[in-house]
Amino acid sequence: MLKICGFPVSSYCKKVKLVVLERGIELEEQAVNPFREVAILHFERDVASVVRRI
């Protein structure tokens, strides 16, 4: 399952969600406030874990 972390009113997040749903891929949404420092730290950690798997 794909996990989308983003700001719900972001046009970028809406575009990604639209494409994922059109392709029939299951997804989990997680709302993130980009203006909080904690959100930035979690994002950096998640990106690092994905890069290690690649």
**For residue 51, pLDDT beyond 60:** no
27 pLDDT higher than 70: yes
Check: CB of residue 46 under 8 Å from CB of residue 5: yes
- Dump pLDDT digits (tens) for 3-25: 888 888 888 888 988 999 999 99
Q: Residue 3's pLDDT is what?
A: 86
Q: Domain range spanning residue 24?
A: 2-53
Three-state SS sequence of 24-51: CCCEEEEECCCCCHHHHHHHHHHHHHHH
Phi, psi of 20 (to 5 degrees): -65, -45
pLDDT at residue number 5 = 83
Lookup: tokens for 47: 């990106």
Res. 45: pLDDT tops 90: no
Across 23-47, average pLDDT: 74
Instruction: Quote the number of domains for the chain.
Output: 1
Q: Who's near 19: CB < 8 A, 6+ residues apart? A: none
